[in-house]
Structure 1
Amino acid sequence: MGLLEKIFPKQRENNIDGYFKTLNAYIPAFTTYAGGIYEMELTRAAIHSFATQCAKLKPEIQGSAYKNLEKTLQFKPNPYMDTYKFIYRLATILSIDTTAFIVPLYANDYETIVGFYPLLPQRTEILDVKGEPWLRYTFSNGQKAAIELNKVGILTQYQYQDDFFGTGNKALLPTMQLLDIQKQGIEEGIKQSAMLRFMAKVGQSLRPEDIKKERDRFSKDNLSSDNTSGVMMFDAKYSEVKQIESKPFIVDAEQMKIIQTNVYNYFGTNEKVLQNDWTEDGWNAYYEGKIEPFALQLSLVMSNMTFTQKELAFGNQILFTSNRMQYASNNTKLQVSSQMFDRGILTTNQVMDIWNMPHVEDGDKRYIRKEYSEVNKLDGGEGNAIKG
């Protein structure tokens, strides 16, 4: 039994009535993008920094339904990866393909969810099975698997043309081509500038094969490691020998900056984020613009695929919180800890999380200062102090 059979232990694809009809897509199918976004150094760095920070998100389950799944989500969502790898891979797939799939792992009854797995299919089609939409995945090794659409979580970016899937990263293709041209230009420039060291003019006419032999002899006698004296000597057959000054090839800095800016704008990042050189304000901007939207979508997608409408109505949900992101300065941490703790907003253990310290016994209790009074009780009236 392979990985496919473990993820899809009971395939129930039958009675296919063709493709499921959508409002905008004639054939609702999604193909993984093969444009090499992850093969370029700058774009991979942008994707990696985003996925790394997203992987710090902490899954939490609110409500009583599936509460037993909380530890599973926090440590090992499936038998093959821990939570960090699970979230990291989702963020990476989403950035590259603009569509990421999460499938539930079921117990033997095919109803009880026991885990989650991120898929990377080569092609995905939406089929009509007895009037209900199903997803049929085709993987790079040719294997296929199908599952009901309502059981799957789908994360998207740039969703416009398709009712279910992201549009893709074709808009980045011109910048990718510029990056490739720039890289090739640097490589060729370095090769050319390092190739020729001397130019020698032979004072007589020679056949091409004799010129080659003489060049090899001249190089061996004067330019190889065998010449330990450091002195170059040549006879009268050469009318002139000149040393060529090698200059490094430099790409225009302004053009390079424009290409980099295009990548930064597309991925919503900047140089400081990629180099882990952010300030507190800079990090807050990156978190609100990139990581928080991902956390919100992931929370909604996983809540909807896990809980029934009735369970959702009773407040059951999966949240991905950012209490592991230690981006604030010590001064800010101190202010948040003191201001939030004595008002009963944070527990002792939540404050310990802020300081990246281990939890303590009875640390989930909340405390509040007792000298607070209602405003309308301050004019000579009996103070109505809030008690913990």
Structure 2
Amino acid sequence: MSMGLFQSIFGKIAAKSLASGFWTTLDGYTPSFLTWGGELYESEIVRAAIHATATHASKLSVTVQGPANPKLQTRLRQGPNEWQTWGQFLYRLCTILEVQNTAFIVPVINEFGETVGMFPVLPSSCEIVQYGAAPWLRYTFRSGQTAAIEMARCGIMTKFQYKSDIFGENNHALTPTMDLVNLQNQGIAEAVKNGATFRFAAKMNNFSSDEDLKKERKRFSRENLQGEGGGILLFPNTYTDIKQLEAKPYVVAADEMERINTNVFNYFGTNEDVLQNRAYGDAWSAFYEGKIEPFSIQFSEVATKMLFTERERAGGTLLMATANRLQYMSNTEKLNVSAQMADRGIMNRDEIREIWNLPPLPNGQGQAYTIRGEYYLLGSDGSVTKKGDDLTSGKS
């Protein structure tokens, strides 16, 4: 991070000296986090898997509900900070979490010590240290800059959390698969190179010394393999037993490639249909429930806890990241849901238009509900209290 961004995020907090010792955790280890697996993101299949998840996560809609801290809420409606949109924030946060299994969110603090936003950071290391009566997070970045801030004001999202009480596990479990991915790519590259070359072996007569053989090898290469050879190899009569050597490079079998890709998909909780944008309807709903929804729930809870006090949360103030899952249905499914929800007065016209990615109707016209005339509203004793036509018109 540049000095300007660093100071804008942490303000005067970064200069605080923390030397009171490490904070004790239940796992018995020094509470520290080190980034690992940056090379993981350099793999094409891994990057594609992470990109697909982060892209869908970036489409979550972030809203703040409740009466607390209206100044902060106004800022958050405009975006998480002055440098990112909510989509960019969620994409990077999700990417960091997928690669590192631990993602840190820090509050953006103004000159008065007030939280005015939040930012996803990628430190090279993080330690939990004791300062006074509270634990603090001390970040060290690749630039060498360090910053510390109260743990209660930060957000920590984790995946594969097991040994550490605070942080997620590393990606060493994926190492065997990544080794296979590397070998697979090398095998394909070698197969292409070997398939484009020709090799010959021949017996050369009337050469009595090693020096003569070297000279003949250079002469042959110069006259046949350099310049305008015309694609024809000319062998002198001193060459006998000329044979072409056919290389048979290792080529990864289709089932082997599929198994390697499946290992990557299983590890990151995605599939080929999601990567190639073919998932919709029930298939996308399954991906949403297994991957995007857990991310949105964890982010909502972590962000709410870091931004609002316990009293404010008890009063109903919270931050939520949600998605309109109906938009990912097929057109036939959308039409069926729209008709059924409208007929029963469950959705108004604007809500139905949202399913079809249409804007709301002007002047509040879309807030009206429509109910089919043959429906009746029954009282608790089973008697008819309102007919469908009366419900639509508002008659009693």
TM-score w.r.t. structure 2 length? Answer: 0.87
Is 1:307 matched with 2:297?
no
Q: 1:289 to 1:208 in 2, by over 3 A?
A: farther
Counterpart Cα distance in 2 of 1:315 and 1:363 = 30
Aligned to 1:355: 356
Aligned to 1:238: 239
Is 1:282 matched with 2:283?
yes
Is 1:201 matched with 2:203?
yes
Counterpart Cα distance in 1 of 2:9 and 2:86 = 17
1:89 aligns with one of 88, 92, 116: 92
Secondary structure at 2:165 match in 1: coil
Counterpart Cα distance in 2 of 1:15 and 1:93 = 26
Counterpart Cα distance in 1 of 2:384 and 2:281 = 44
Aligned to 2:22: 19
Question: For the Cα contact (< 8 Å) 1:59–1:70, is it kept in 2?
Answer: no
- Residue 206 of structure 1: how far off its partner (Å): 4.9
- Residue 256 of structure 1: how far off its partner (Å): 2.3
Question: For the Cα contact (< 8 Å) 1:52–1:88, is it kept in 2?
Answer: yes
Which range moves more in the overlay, 201-210 or 289-298? 201-210
Aligned to 2:49: 46
Aligned to 1:291: 292
Question: For the Cα contact (< 8 Å) 2:348–2:367, is it kept in 1?
Answer: yes
Alignment: residue pair count:
385
Question: For the Cα contact (< 8 Å) 2:18–2:129, is it kept in 1?
Answer: no
* Superposed CA offset, 1:35-71 (max 9, x none): 6211111111111111111111110112233455556
Q: 1:64 to 1:347 in 2, by over 3 A?
A: farther
Question: For the Cα contact (< 8 Å) 2:190–2:249, is it kept in 1?
Answer: no
Aligned to 2:161: 159
- Residue 15 of structure 1: how far off its partner (Å): 5.9
Unaligned runs of 5+ in 2: none
* Superposed CA offset, 1:296-320 (max 9, x none): 1111111111122222222211111
* Superposed CA offset, 1:198-223 (max 9, x none): 33321233544433432343344344
Aligned to 1:31: 34
Question: For the Cα contact (< 8 Å) 2:109–2:117, is it kept in 1?
Answer: yes
Aligned to 1:320: 321
Aligned Cα root-mean-square deviation (Å): 2.7
Q: Quick one: which amino acid aligns to residue 128 of structure 2?
A: I
Q: Quick one: which amino acid aligns to residue 259 of structure 1?
A: I
Counterpart Cα distance in 1 of 2:9 and 2:265 = 36
Question: For the Cα contact (< 8 Å) 1:61–1:67, is it kept in 2?
Answer: no
Q: Quick one: which amino acid aligns to residue 367 of structure 1?
A: Y
- Residue 286 of structure 1: how far off its partner (Å): 0.9
* Superposed CA offset, 1:117-138 (max 9, x none): 0010011111111120100000
Identical-residue share of aligned pairs (%)? 45
Which range moves more in the overlay, 350-359 or 327-336? 350-359
Aligned to 2:5: 3
Q: 1:250 to 1:125 in 2, by over 3 A?
A: same
Aligned to 2:266: 265
Is 1:103 matched with 2:106?
yes
Counterpart Cα distance in 1 of 2:139 and 2:380 = 66
Q: Quick one: which amino acid aligns to residue 37 of structure 1?
A: L
Secondary structure at 2:157 match in 1: strand
Counterpart Cα distance in 2 of 1:260 and 1:189 = 20
Question: For the Cα contact (< 8 Å) 1:345–1:366, is it kept in 2?
Answer: no
Secondary structure at 2:319 match in 1: strand
Q: 1:382 to 1:255 in 2, by over 3 A?
A: closer
Q: 1:345 to 1:216 in 2, by over 3 A?
A: farther
Q: Quick one: which amino acid aligns to residue 63 of structure 1?
A: G
Q: 1:232 to 1:188 in 2, by over 3 A?
A: closer
Counterpart Cα distance in 1 of 2:212 and 2:281 = 69
Question: For the Cα contact (< 8 Å) 2:37–2:171, is it kept in 1?
Answer: no
Structure having the higher helix fraction is 2
Question: For the Cα contact (< 8 Å) 2:200–2:245, is it kept in 1?
Answer: yes
Counterpart Cα distance in 2 of 1:66 and 1:358 = 30
Secondary structure at 1:339 match in 2: helix
Q: 1:89 to 1:286 in 2, by over 3 A?
A: same
Secondary structure at 2:313 match in 1: helix
Counterpart Cα distance in 1 of 2:51 and 2:322 = 20
Counterpart Cα distance in 2 of 1:9 and 1:69 = 17
Is 1:141 matched with 2:143?
yes
Counterpart Cα distance in 2 of 1:53 and 1:44 = 14
Is 1:373 matched with 2:359?
no
Q: Quick one: which amino acid aligns to residue 292 of structure 1?
A: E
Q: Quick one: which amino acid aligns to residue 171 of structure 1?
A: A
Which range moves more in the overlay, 41-50 or 203-212? 203-212
Counterpart Cα distance in 2 of 1:281 and 1:225 = 61
* Superposed CA offset, 1:111-155 (max 9, x none): 2x3211001001111111112010000001111000001101111
Which range moves more in the overlay, 310-319 or 331-340? 331-340
Aligned to 1:116: 118
* Superposed CA offset, 1:157-212 (max 9, x none): 01111111112222112211222233233334444454443333212335444334
Secondary structure at 1:384 match in 2: strand
